[in-house]
Structure 1
Amino acid sequence: MNINTITTDDLRHMEGKDGLILQGCGGDLKEWVDGINEMFTEAGILKDGSKFEDVFTFQYGELTCLLYPFEDVKLDIGKLAVWRLQTHENFGGTWLSDFVPNRLGGFIGEPSPEPEKPDCALIGQDGNIFNLVGIAARTLREHDLKDQAKEMKDRVFACGSYGEALCIIGEYVNITDSEAEPEHRPSLRQQIKDAKHTETPQKQKPAKQQER
Protein backbone atom coordinates (compact mmCIF):
# COMPACT_ATOMS: atom_id res chain seq x y z
CA MET A 1 0.00 0.00 0.00
CA ASN A 2 1.25 3.48 -0.89
CA ILE A 3 -0.05 6.75 0.57
CA ASN A 4 1.45 9.55 -1.51
CA THR A 5 1.41 13.19 -0.43
CA ILE A 6 0.27 15.64 -3.10
CA THR A 7 -1.01 19.23 -3.26
CA THR A 8 -4.28 20.73 -4.42
CA ASP A 9 -2.40 21.95 -7.51
CA ASP A 10 -1.66 18.32 -8.33
CA LEU A 11 -5.39 17.61 -8.13
CA ARG A 12 -6.04 20.32 -10.70
CA HIS A 13 -3.84 18.43 -13.18
CA MET A 14 -5.89 15.22 -12.86
CA GLU A 15 -8.44 16.05 -15.56
CA GLY A 16 -10.04 12.96 -17.04
CA LYS A 17 -9.60 11.01 -13.81
CA ASP A 18 -11.96 10.45 -10.92
CA GLY A 19 -11.95 9.11 -7.40
CA LEU A 20 -13.48 9.38 -3.96
CA ILE A 21 -12.27 12.16 -1.65
CA LEU A 22 -12.78 11.88 2.11
CA GLN A 23 -12.33 15.12 4.04
CA GLY A 24 -11.15 15.64 7.61
CA CYS A 25 -9.32 12.32 8.08
CA GLY A 26 -7.79 12.31 11.55
CA GLY A 27 -5.42 9.78 13.07
CA ASP A 28 -3.40 7.15 11.24
CA LEU A 29 -4.02 7.43 7.49
CA LYS A 30 -3.13 3.77 6.98
CA GLU A 31 -6.04 2.87 9.25
CA TRP A 32 -8.33 4.94 7.02
CA VAL A 33 -7.17 3.11 3.90
CA ASP A 34 -7.42 -0.32 5.52
CA GLY A 35 -10.80 0.55 7.01
CA ILE A 36 -12.28 1.75 3.72
CA ASN A 37 -10.97 -1.33 1.88
CA GLU A 38 -12.54 -3.56 4.51
CA MET A 39 -15.82 -1.64 4.62
CA PHE A 40 -16.19 -1.48 0.83
CA THR A 41 -15.40 -5.18 0.45
CA GLU A 42 -18.07 -6.14 2.99
CA ALA A 43 -20.59 -3.81 1.32
CA GLY A 44 -19.92 -5.24 -2.15
CA ILE A 45 -18.59 -1.90 -3.44
CA LEU A 46 -15.13 -3.32 -4.16
CA LYS A 47 -15.47 -6.33 -6.45
CA ASP A 48 -13.41 -9.40 -7.39
CA GLY A 49 -11.00 -8.99 -4.49
CA SER A 50 -9.70 -5.61 -5.66
CA LYS A 51 -8.72 -2.92 -3.17
CA PHE A 52 -7.20 0.54 -3.07
CA GLU A 53 -3.42 0.17 -3.18
CA ASP A 54 -2.26 3.66 -4.23
CA VAL A 55 -3.97 6.44 -2.30
CA PHE A 56 -3.18 10.16 -2.12
CA THR A 57 -3.30 12.53 0.84
CA PHE A 58 -3.45 16.32 0.63
CA GLN A 59 -4.28 19.32 2.78
CA TYR A 60 -7.32 21.46 2.04
CA GLY A 61 -7.16 24.37 4.45
CA GLU A 62 -6.84 22.78 7.87
CA LEU A 63 -8.33 19.48 6.72
CA THR A 64 -6.36 16.33 5.95
CA CYS A 65 -8.00 14.63 2.99
CA LEU A 66 -7.61 11.28 1.23
CA LEU A 67 -8.15 10.59 -2.46
CA TYR A 68 -9.03 7.01 -3.44
CA PRO A 69 -8.49 6.84 -7.24
CA PHE A 70 -10.86 4.69 -9.27
CA GLU A 71 -8.06 3.46 -11.52
CA ASP A 72 -7.00 -0.17 -11.10
CA VAL A 73 -9.95 -1.10 -8.87
CA LYS A 74 -13.23 -2.76 -9.75
CA LEU A 75 -16.14 -0.87 -8.24
CA ASP A 76 -19.90 -1.02 -8.11
CA ILE A 77 -20.36 2.72 -8.73
CA GLY A 78 -24.07 2.56 -7.96
CA LYS A 79 -23.47 1.13 -4.49
CA LEU A 80 -20.67 3.62 -3.92
CA ALA A 81 -22.98 6.51 -4.83
CA VAL A 82 -25.54 5.28 -2.29
CA TRP A 83 -22.83 4.88 0.37
CA ARG A 84 -21.49 8.39 -0.25
CA LEU A 85 -24.95 9.91 0.09
CA GLN A 86 -25.77 7.99 3.27
CA THR A 87 -22.42 8.62 5.00
CA HIS A 88 -21.56 12.14 3.86
CA GLU A 89 -22.12 13.58 7.34
CA ASN A 90 -19.56 11.16 8.79
CA PHE A 91 -16.92 11.05 6.05
CA GLY A 92 -17.41 14.20 3.95
CA GLY A 93 -17.21 12.09 0.80
CA THR A 94 -17.20 13.79 -2.59
CA TRP A 95 -16.01 13.00 -6.11
CA LEU A 96 -12.71 14.33 -7.43
CA SER A 97 -14.60 15.55 -10.52
CA ASP A 98 -16.85 17.67 -8.25
CA PHE A 99 -14.24 18.77 -5.71
CA VAL A 100 -11.82 20.37 -8.18
CA PRO A 101 -14.35 22.54 -10.08
CA ASN A 102 -16.30 23.53 -6.96
CA ARG A 103 -13.46 24.05 -4.47
CA LEU A 104 -10.28 24.63 -6.49
CA GLY A 105 -11.43 26.61 -9.52
CA GLY A 106 -11.38 23.81 -12.07
CA PHE A 107 -8.85 21.55 -13.75
CA ILE A 108 -5.80 23.13 -15.35
CA GLY A 109 -5.43 22.53 -19.06
CA GLU A 110 -9.05 21.69 -19.77
CA PRO A 111 -9.85 23.03 -23.25
CA SER A 112 -13.51 23.63 -22.50
CA PRO A 113 -14.51 23.06 -18.87
CA GLU A 114 -18.07 21.99 -18.26
CA PRO A 115 -20.43 24.52 -16.67
CA GLU A 116 -20.35 24.42 -12.89
CA LYS A 117 -23.13 22.30 -11.45
CA PRO A 118 -25.44 23.99 -8.94
CA ASP A 119 -25.30 22.82 -5.33
CA CYS A 120 -28.28 20.75 -4.25
CA ALA A 121 -28.78 19.77 -0.60
CA LEU A 122 -29.98 16.18 -0.99
CA ILE A 123 -28.06 14.66 1.91
CA GLY A 124 -30.38 14.24 4.87
CA GLN A 125 -33.52 14.42 2.71
CA ASP A 126 -36.11 11.66 2.35
CA GLY A 127 -34.26 9.11 0.20
CA ASN A 128 -37.28 8.31 -1.98
CA ILE A 129 -36.02 8.69 -5.54
CA PHE A 130 -39.08 10.69 -6.62
CA ASN A 131 -38.38 13.16 -3.82
CA LEU A 132 -34.68 13.45 -4.69
CA VAL A 133 -35.39 13.92 -8.40
CA GLY A 134 -37.98 16.57 -7.60
CA ILE A 135 -35.55 18.55 -5.44
CA ALA A 136 -32.76 18.27 -8.02
CA ALA A 137 -35.06 19.28 -10.87
CA ARG A 138 -36.30 22.30 -8.91
CA THR A 139 -32.69 23.34 -8.24
CA LEU A 140 -31.87 23.12 -11.94
CA ARG A 141 -34.92 25.17 -12.91
CA GLU A 142 -33.97 27.82 -10.34
CA HIS A 143 -30.64 28.12 -12.17
CA ASP A 144 -32.34 28.47 -15.58
CA LEU A 145 -31.45 24.90 -16.53
CA LYS A 146 -34.93 23.70 -17.50
CA ASP A 147 -33.72 21.50 -20.36
CA GLN A 148 -31.22 19.77 -18.08
CA ALA A 149 -33.95 19.23 -15.47
CA LYS A 150 -36.16 17.45 -18.00
CA GLU A 151 -33.26 15.45 -19.40
CA MET A 152 -32.22 14.35 -15.91
CA LYS A 153 -35.74 13.23 -14.99
CA ASP A 154 -36.12 11.27 -18.23
CA ARG A 155 -32.80 9.49 -17.69
CA VAL A 156 -33.49 8.70 -14.03
CA PHE A 157 -36.91 7.18 -14.67
CA ALA A 158 -35.51 5.12 -17.54
CA CYS A 159 -32.60 3.67 -15.56
CA GLY A 160 -32.59 0.32 -13.82
CA SER A 161 -31.46 0.87 -10.23
CA TYR A 162 -31.45 3.28 -7.31
CA GLY A 163 -27.66 3.55 -7.37
CA GLU A 164 -27.62 4.36 -11.08
CA ALA A 165 -30.30 6.99 -10.49
CA LEU A 166 -28.12 8.70 -7.87
CA CYS A 167 -25.18 8.70 -10.27
CA ILE A 168 -27.32 10.37 -12.93
CA ILE A 169 -28.54 13.03 -10.50
CA GLY A 170 -24.91 13.67 -9.54
CA GLU A 171 -24.10 14.43 -13.18
CA TYR A 172 -26.43 17.43 -13.09
CA VAL A 173 -26.11 18.80 -9.54
CA ASN A 174 -23.42 18.90 -6.88
CA ILE A 175 -24.95 16.83 -4.07
CA THR A 176 -24.38 18.58 -0.74
CA ASP A 177 -25.80 18.71 2.77
CA SER A 178 -25.06 22.24 3.98
CA GLU A 179 -22.62 25.11 3.69
CA ALA A 180 -20.70 23.92 6.74
CA GLU A 181 -17.14 22.74 6.15
CA PRO A 182 -16.26 19.17 7.22
CA GLU A 183 -14.56 18.83 10.58
CA HIS A 184 -11.53 16.81 11.60
CA ARG A 185 -12.57 13.30 12.50
CA PRO A 186 -10.85 10.61 14.57
CA SER A 187 -9.43 7.61 12.74
CA LEU A 188 -11.89 5.37 10.93
CA ARG A 189 -11.09 2.37 13.11
CA GLN A 190 -11.58 4.50 16.22
CA GLN A 191 -15.01 5.57 14.98
CA ILE A 192 -15.98 1.94 14.35
CA LYS A 193 -14.54 0.90 17.73
CA ASP A 194 -16.46 3.65 19.53
CA ALA A 195 -19.68 2.62 17.82
CA LYS A 196 -19.24 -1.04 18.74
CA HIS A 197 -18.29 -0.39 22.35
CA THR A 198 -21.00 2.10 23.20
CA GLU A 199 -22.16 0.98 26.58
CA THR A 200 -25.75 -0.13 26.81
CA PRO A 201 -27.50 1.65 29.69
CA GLN A 202 -28.07 -0.76 32.52
CA LYS A 203 -31.64 -1.51 33.36
CA GLN A 204 -32.69 0.02 36.62
CA LYS A 205 -33.57 -2.49 39.25
CA PRO A 206 -37.06 -2.17 40.66
CA ALA A 207 -37.17 -0.47 44.01
CA LYS A 208 -37.16 -2.93 46.88
CA GLN A 209 -40.57 -3.17 48.41
CA GLN A 210 -40.83 -2.27 52.04
CA GLU A 211 -41.42 -5.16 54.36
CA ARG A 212 -44.85 -5.30 55.77
Structure 2
Amino acid sequence: MIQKISAEDLKKMQDREGLVLQGCGGDLREWEDGIHQMLAEEKILQNGAHFKEIYAFEHEGCTNLLFMMDGIELDTGRLALWRLRTHAQFGGTWLSDYLPNRLGVEENVQNGKPDCPLIGANGNIFNLMGIAARTLAENDQNDEAKEMCRRVIQCGSYDAALGVIGEYVNIVSIDEWDEPELNGMEY
Protein backbone atom coordinates (compact mmCIF):
# COMPACT_ATOMS: atom_id res chain seq x y z
CA MET A 1 0.00 0.00 0.00
CA ILE A 2 1.37 3.40 -0.97
CA GLN A 3 1.60 5.93 1.84
CA LYS A 4 1.57 9.66 1.07
CA ILE A 5 4.28 11.70 2.78
CA SER A 6 5.62 15.23 2.46
CA ALA A 7 9.03 16.22 1.16
CA GLU A 8 9.79 17.26 4.76
CA ASP A 9 9.06 13.70 5.94
CA LEU A 10 11.37 12.44 3.22
CA LYS A 11 14.23 14.58 4.54
CA LYS A 12 14.14 12.54 7.77
CA MET A 13 15.04 9.32 5.91
CA GLN A 14 18.77 10.01 5.54
CA ASP A 15 19.76 6.73 7.17
CA ARG A 16 17.77 4.58 4.72
CA GLU A 17 18.04 3.67 1.06
CA GLY A 18 15.44 3.35 -1.63
CA LEU A 19 14.64 3.85 -5.29
CA VAL A 20 12.97 7.15 -6.23
CA LEU A 21 10.97 7.31 -9.47
CA GLN A 22 10.15 10.85 -10.58
CA GLY A 23 7.10 12.12 -12.46
CA CYS A 24 4.67 9.29 -11.70
CA GLY A 25 1.34 10.56 -12.98
CA GLY A 26 -1.99 8.80 -12.99
CA ASP A 27 -3.02 5.86 -10.83
CA LEU A 28 -0.23 5.17 -8.34
CA ARG A 29 -1.46 1.61 -7.77
CA GLU A 30 -0.80 0.92 -11.47
CA TRP A 31 2.71 2.29 -11.02
CA GLU A 32 3.27 0.02 -8.02
CA ASP A 33 2.03 -3.06 -9.90
CA GLY A 34 3.93 -2.18 -13.08
CA ILE A 35 7.24 -1.57 -11.32
CA HIS A 36 6.92 -4.80 -9.33
CA GLN A 37 6.19 -6.70 -12.55
CA MET A 38 9.11 -5.09 -14.43
CA LEU A 39 11.57 -5.74 -11.62
CA ALA A 40 10.40 -9.34 -11.27
CA GLU A 41 10.77 -9.92 -15.03
CA GLU A 42 14.28 -8.43 -14.92
CA LYS A 43 15.10 -10.84 -12.05
CA ILE A 44 15.83 -7.89 -9.77
CA LEU A 45 13.24 -8.86 -7.16
CA GLN A 46 14.23 -12.27 -5.85
CA ASN A 47 12.05 -15.17 -4.65
CA GLY A 48 8.73 -13.37 -5.19
CA ALA A 49 9.80 -10.34 -3.13
CA HIS A 50 7.69 -7.16 -3.13
CA PHE A 51 8.49 -3.75 -1.74
CA LYS A 52 6.81 -3.47 1.66
CA GLU A 53 7.19 0.28 2.03
CA ILE A 54 6.24 2.55 -0.86
CA TYR A 55 5.78 6.28 -0.41
CA ALA A 56 4.33 8.94 -2.72
CA PHE A 57 5.45 12.55 -2.35
CA GLU A 58 5.17 15.78 -4.30
CA HIS A 59 8.16 17.90 -5.25
CA GLU A 60 8.47 20.67 -7.85
CA GLY A 61 5.03 19.86 -9.25
CA CYS A 62 5.76 16.17 -9.78
CA THR A 63 4.43 13.11 -8.02
CA ASN A 64 7.30 10.80 -7.11
CA LEU A 65 7.40 7.28 -5.70
CA LEU A 66 9.92 5.95 -3.21
CA PHE A 67 10.43 2.17 -3.01
CA MET A 68 12.29 1.42 0.23
CA MET A 69 14.91 -1.31 -0.16
CA ASP A 70 15.21 -2.33 3.52
CA GLY A 71 14.72 -6.06 4.01
CA ILE A 72 13.87 -6.75 0.36
CA GLU A 73 15.49 -9.65 -1.45
CA LEU A 74 16.83 -8.03 -4.60
CA ASP A 75 19.80 -8.07 -6.92
CA THR A 76 21.27 -4.59 -6.38
CA GLY A 77 23.62 -4.89 -9.35
CA ARG A 78 20.72 -5.57 -11.71
CA LEU A 79 18.69 -2.82 -10.04
CA ALA A 80 21.53 -0.32 -10.56
CA LEU A 81 21.79 -1.32 -14.23
CA TRP A 82 17.99 -1.10 -14.68
CA ARG A 83 17.98 2.34 -13.06
CA LEU A 84 20.70 3.58 -15.40
CA ARG A 85 19.02 2.06 -18.46
CA THR A 86 15.58 3.51 -17.62
CA HIS A 87 16.69 6.86 -16.18
CA ALA A 88 15.29 8.88 -19.10
CA GLN A 89 11.93 7.11 -18.76
CA PHE A 90 11.49 7.08 -14.96
CA GLY A 91 14.04 9.59 -13.62
CA GLY A 92 15.16 6.84 -11.25
CA THR A 93 17.66 7.77 -8.58
CA TRP A 94 18.68 6.51 -5.15
CA LEU A 95 17.16 8.20 -2.13
CA SER A 96 20.72 8.98 -0.96
CA ASP A 97 21.21 10.96 -4.21
CA TYR A 98 17.75 12.56 -4.24
CA LEU A 99 18.02 14.06 -0.76
CA PRO A 100 21.13 16.21 -1.36
CA ASN A 101 20.61 16.86 -5.09
CA ARG A 102 16.87 17.63 -5.15
CA LEU A 103 15.96 18.55 -1.57
CA GLY A 104 19.23 20.17 -0.49
CA VAL A 105 19.72 17.85 2.48
CA GLU A 106 23.32 17.76 3.65
CA GLU A 107 24.91 14.44 2.84
CA ASN A 108 24.91 11.82 5.52
CA VAL A 109 28.55 11.50 6.54
CA GLN A 110 27.96 7.94 7.73
CA ASN A 111 27.47 6.91 4.12
CA GLY A 112 31.11 7.69 3.29
CA LYS A 113 30.48 7.28 -0.45
CA PRO A 114 31.22 10.27 -2.69
CA ASP A 115 28.84 11.25 -5.49
CA CYS A 116 30.07 10.04 -8.86
CA PRO A 117 28.60 11.22 -12.21
CA LEU A 118 28.00 7.97 -14.11
CA ILE A 119 24.43 8.33 -15.42
CA GLY A 120 24.78 9.71 -18.93
CA ALA A 121 28.45 8.69 -19.19
CA ASN A 122 29.78 6.21 -21.76
CA GLY A 123 28.49 2.89 -20.37
CA ASN A 124 31.65 0.90 -21.06
CA ILE A 125 32.36 -0.76 -17.71
CA PHE A 126 36.05 0.20 -17.84
CA ASN A 127 35.11 3.83 -18.43
CA LEU A 128 32.66 3.75 -15.50
CA MET A 129 35.27 2.02 -13.33
CA GLY A 130 37.82 4.71 -14.23
CA ILE A 131 35.45 7.56 -13.40
CA ALA A 132 34.56 5.91 -10.08
CA ALA A 133 38.23 5.24 -9.24
CA ARG A 134 39.12 8.86 -9.99
CA THR A 135 36.22 10.05 -7.82
CA LEU A 136 37.41 7.86 -4.95
CA ALA A 137 41.01 9.06 -5.34
CA GLU A 138 39.86 12.70 -5.35
CA ASN A 139 38.14 11.98 -2.03
CA ASP A 140 41.27 10.49 -0.41
CA GLN A 141 40.00 6.93 -0.82
CA ASN A 142 42.90 5.49 -2.82
CA ASP A 143 42.79 2.10 -1.11
CA GLU A 144 39.07 1.83 -1.83
CA ALA A 145 39.70 2.78 -5.48
CA LYS A 146 42.25 -0.01 -5.88
CA GLU A 147 40.01 -2.53 -4.12
CA MET A 148 37.01 -1.53 -6.25
CA CYS A 149 39.01 -1.88 -9.50
CA ARG A 150 40.30 -5.30 -8.45
CA ARG A 151 36.76 -6.46 -7.63
CA VAL A 152 35.24 -5.03 -10.84
CA ILE A 153 37.83 -6.77 -13.01
CA GLN A 154 37.03 -10.09 -11.31
CA CYS A 155 33.27 -9.78 -11.94
CA GLY A 156 31.70 -12.20 -14.35
CA SER A 157 29.04 -9.83 -15.66
CA TYR A 158 28.32 -6.19 -16.37
CA ASP A 159 25.51 -6.21 -13.78
CA ALA A 160 27.79 -7.52 -11.05
CA ALA A 161 30.53 -5.02 -11.94
CA LEU A 162 28.08 -2.13 -11.79
CA GLY A 163 26.85 -3.39 -8.43
CA VAL A 164 30.42 -3.35 -7.11
CA ILE A 165 30.94 0.23 -8.30
CA GLY A 166 27.72 1.21 -6.51
CA GLU A 167 29.11 -0.18 -3.26
CA TYR A 168 31.89 2.44 -3.35
CA VAL A 169 30.25 5.54 -4.86
CA ASN A 170 26.82 7.17 -5.04
CA ILE A 171 25.94 6.98 -8.73
CA VAL A 172 24.49 10.31 -9.87
CA SER A 173 23.62 11.86 -13.22
CA ILE A 174 26.08 14.03 -15.12
CA ASP A 175 23.21 16.53 -15.41
CA GLU A 176 22.88 16.73 -11.61
CA TRP A 177 26.63 16.99 -11.01
CA ASP A 178 27.50 20.39 -9.63
CA GLU A 179 31.28 20.38 -9.93
CA PRO A 180 32.10 23.35 -12.20
CA GLU A 181 35.25 21.77 -13.62
CA LEU A 182 33.17 18.89 -15.01
CA ASN A 183 30.66 21.04 -16.86
CA GLY A 184 31.07 20.35 -20.56
CA MET A 185 33.52 17.50 -19.94
CA GLU A 186 32.86 14.43 -22.06
CA TYR A 187 32.78 11.00 -20.51
Using structure 1 for the length normalisation, give the TM-score.
0.69
* Cα gap change, 1:10 to 1:160, in 2 (>3 Å): farther
Partner residue of 1:138 out of 129, 134, 139: 134
Trace 1:60-79 onto structure 2 (pairs within 5 A): 60-79=59-78
Q: CA shift at 1:153, angstroms?
A: 1.6
Deviations 1:44-100 (A, max 9, x none): 111222223541011222221100112353212221111111111111111123322
Which segments of 5 or more consecutive residues in structure 1 lack a partner in the other structure? 181-212
Q: Give the match for residue 34 of structure 1.
A: 33
How many angstroms apart in 1 are the aligned matches of 2:69 and 2:27?
22
Which segments of 5 or more consecutive residues in structure 2 lack a partner in the other structure? 177-187
Q: Give the match for residue 23 of structure 2.
A: 24
Q: For residue 59 of structure 1, give the secondary structure of its aligned residue in structure 2.
A: strand
Query: 8 Å contact 2:46–2:73 — kept in the other structure?
Result: yes
- How large is the RMSD of aligned CA atoms in angstroms? 2.7
Deviations 1:132-163 (A, max 9, x none): 11122234445555444333323322445432
Structure ranking higher on relative contact order (CA contacts 8 Å, 6+ apart): 1
* Cα gap change, 1:97 to 1:31, in 2 (>3 Å): same
Query: 8 Å contact 2:116–2:131 — kept in the other structure?
Result: no
Deviations 1:183-205 (A, max 9, x none): xxxxxxxxxxxxxxxxxxxxxxx
The count of corresponding residues between Structure 1 and Structure 2 is 176
Q: For residue 176 of structure 1, give the secondary structure of its aligned residue in structure 2.
A: strand
